[in-house]
Structure 1
Amino acid sequence: MSQLDIQGNRSGRHHSSSYIFKRARWEISRILFRLTPTPLFELRSTILRMNGAQIGKDVHIHPGAIISYPWNLQIGDESSIGERAFIDNHGDVTIGQRATISQCSHLCSGTHDYTDPTMPLLMPPINIGDDAWVCAGCFIGPGVNIGTGAVIGARSIVVKNVAPWMVAVGHPAKEIKRRELKEKTT
């Protein structure tokens, strides 16, 4: 059996100069992002846009949300990201329209190839569909697609795709029923 090649993983230059500059600019911008009062959602969206994110209209991102790489983030109109949600987006993370990422959830689009002794970084994208709800404290793993209208129950761990309009819960999350919206009453 081979052993891991830690020096192989750590050697060499992993990032270009432009990437290092972009990362440094975001680290400075993130201070302002976190200091903005909660109701200033548009200001936080503007700060993210200035750092490469594609943010739709009327998006509510709370100041305690942690976004690792704004240039790998796309959010549709009227979506929200709650307090202490962690968007660890080494790879692209796309959040559809009217989608909710609740507080303390963790979307992680980075992993490593554990079969390679140097364990290179892999960056499979995450896609959250329109009208989906990732409830409080969930973990969404690399390469996962959450279908349109799906609901991920609180504290669930999702490592496989969830079909549209399904409710999924557990560790690992399993689809348990179809999400049915009630008729709107006036």
Structure 2
Amino acid sequence: MTTQINITANRRRRHWSGRAQAGRVLWGLCQPLFRFSPRPLWAWRVWLLRLFGAKIGREVHIYPTARITIPWNLHIEDQAAVGDNAILYALGPIHIGPRATVSQLAHLCAGSHDWRDPARPLLRPAIVIGPDAWVCADAFVGPGVVIRAGAILAARGVALHDLPARHIGQGNPMITRPMDD
């Protein structure tokens, strides 16, 4: 019985500071300004994300239907793109390198829970998408994964471990192979 009480007490522990909770509420209120903006208003969406603490480079294209959970955990470098209905679940940091592409419906999940602890505390491991990498349509990138420079995670692929540079990862479980030059 004591164990159950401790688990319950741990589950009530706050994962977010008051400031972070307020920021999440404000971002939620501003999301319609992002989501319903006309497609060509790239600069507007970038400005809005920067207003909420995102670090975003030049000539970045983020489509209006992309869903971004916590913008201040987002760093997108020059000439990168985030496609329609992509999900950037940025509980932890997400870094998208220069000229990288996150295609439509792709899901980057920088958050999980420690399954070994009965209280299931929140974990926020970073995701890194390297320069010139491509996360194809409907692919999933798990917490703590690095997609290295020039790598491709094929459509519907699931990356639960790192993808080496200039390799293609496909399937679930992910199978990797070097790119043919």
Is contact 2:109-2:143 (8 Å) kept?
A: yes
Alpha-carbon deviations, 1:115-164, whole Å to 9, x = none? 10100001110000000000000000000000000011100000010111
Q: TM-score, normalised by structure 2?
A: 0.94
- Name 1:7's counterpart in structure 2: 8
In the superposition, relative to structure 1, how do residues 4 and 170 fare at CA in structure 2: closer, same or farther (>3 Å)?
farther
Describe the SS at the equivalent of 2:75. strand
In the superposition, relative to structure 1, how do residues 161 and 39 fare at CA in structure 2: closer, same or farther (>3 Å)?
same
Describe the SS at the equivalent of 1:149. coil
Describe the SS at the equivalent of 2:108. strand
In the superposition, relative to structure 1, how do residues 96 and 4 fare at CA in structure 2: closer, same or farther (>3 Å)?
farther
Q: Which amino acid aligns with 2:132?
A: D
In the superposition, relative to structure 1, how do residues 4 and 149 fare at CA in structure 2: closer, same or farther (>3 Å)?
farther
* Number of aligned residue pairs: 179
Write the distance in 2 (CA, Å) between the matches of 1:3 and 1:102.
Answer: 44
Q: Deviation of residue 6 (structure 1)?
A: 5.6
Alpha-carbon deviations, 1:66-96, whole Å to 9, x = none? 0000000000000000010000011100000
- Name 2:99's counterpart in structure 1: 98
Write the distance in 2 (CA, Å) between the matches of 1:75 and 1:81.
Answer: 9
Is contact 2:133-2:150 (8 Å) kept?
A: yes
- Name 1:60's counterpart in structure 2: 61
Write the distance in 1 (CA, Å) between the matches of 2:180 and 2:127.
Answer: 21
Deviates more, 1:171-180 or 1:46-55: 171-180
Report sequence identity in percent: 43
Alpha-carbon deviations, 1:5-42, whole Å to 9, x = none? 76234313332221122111111121100010000011
Describe the SS at the equivalent of 2:59. coil
Q: TM-score, normalised by structure 1?
A: 0.91
Is contact 2:79-2:99 (8 Å) kept?
A: yes
Is contact 1:151-1:179 (8 Å) kept?
A: no
Q: Which amino acid aligns with 1:64?
A: T
Write the distance in 2 (CA, Å) between the matches of 1:144 and 1:55.
Answer: 21
Write the distance in 1 (CA, Å) between the matches of 2:54 and 2:149.
Answer: 22
Write the distance in 2 (CA, Å) between the matches of 1:105 and 1:158.
Answer: 11
Write the distance in 1 (CA, Å) between the matches of 2:6 and 2:164.
Answer: 38
Q: How does 1:127-142 map to 2 (within 5 A)?
A: 127-142=128-143
Q: Which amino acid aligns with 1:130?
A: P
Gaps of 5+ in 2: none
